[in-house]
Amino acid sequence: MKTEKIILAFLLPFLLFTSCNKDNDININEIKAKVENASKYSNVVEVKLMVHDRNINKYVELARGKWKDGSFTIIPPKALGQNNINALIRDGRHPTNIHFVQSTMTISNENVRVGNIYFVGVDKRGNAVATFSPVKEDEDGYTETIFTYVDSDVTIFGYTYGEGHTHPANEDAPSWFEITTTYSVEWKKGWNVWCFSRHHTRVDYTVITTEQWSTTPVSGLKWHGSDENLWKF
């Protein structure tokens, strides 16, 4: 079977919203967040709502909210501008720049444009020190909430499968991977809230990864902070 490498490049949003968290539906018109283990982020003074501006290739601020007692409230704009949305389909067919072995993916609207927003905690000097999002962590992976604006209705269904070879630093590390991504997404024009999940298992020298894009309700999601990938903000 032909070996291909899968790259997730778009992961990287009512009526007005569809929520993937059935325990605590997120009102996209006024996002209220209570962060778990908030004491870790005592240097945060404000949380900025950030979006990528493709014209300048930087993340820019859309709105902000005060950080108080481990909580923040932000009101997003009603829509994103043309500079802040991009084509969902990046390589002529698929939304994630996937080079695949097998695929049954179907996209109802190949002209749809999308944009994601991010919640970035800053200190008193304006430095990014954390990002926040509703997350559920498991022993073998995680599920994360993503906020996406789309300029027209679209559905994405099916799956993609790929496999590849890596070059591990030691003999005991896995040297092969398999990735299956399942899509069950129904986005309405405007803001949508959905979930991306990724889980891993290992069989001998192969890491098997399963991913899912879904607007189906998920329980147990709570706002958490992370200090990874702060360089881009």
Q: Which residues pair with 210 in a beta bridge?
A: 180, 199
Mean pLDDT estimate for the chain: 85
Q: Enter the pTM of the model.
A: 0.83
The pLDDT tens digits for 98-121 are 445 788 999 999 899 999 999 999
Look at 170 and 178; give whichever has higher pLDDT.
Answer: 178
Residues 6+ apart with CB under 8 A from 118: 49, 50, 51, 59, 131, 133, 233
Residue 96's SS3 state is: coil
The C-alpha atoms of residue 6 and residue 12 are separated, in whole angstroms, by 14
Relative to beta strand 206-214, strand 176-187 is parallel
Nearest to 197 by CA among 149, 134, 155, 151: 134
Confidence of residue 26 (pLDDT cuts 50, 70, 90): confident
From residue 155, how far is each of 126, 142, 186, 196 by CA, in Å? 38, 23, 4, 15
Q: 124-135 pLDDT, tens per residue?
A: 999 999 999 999
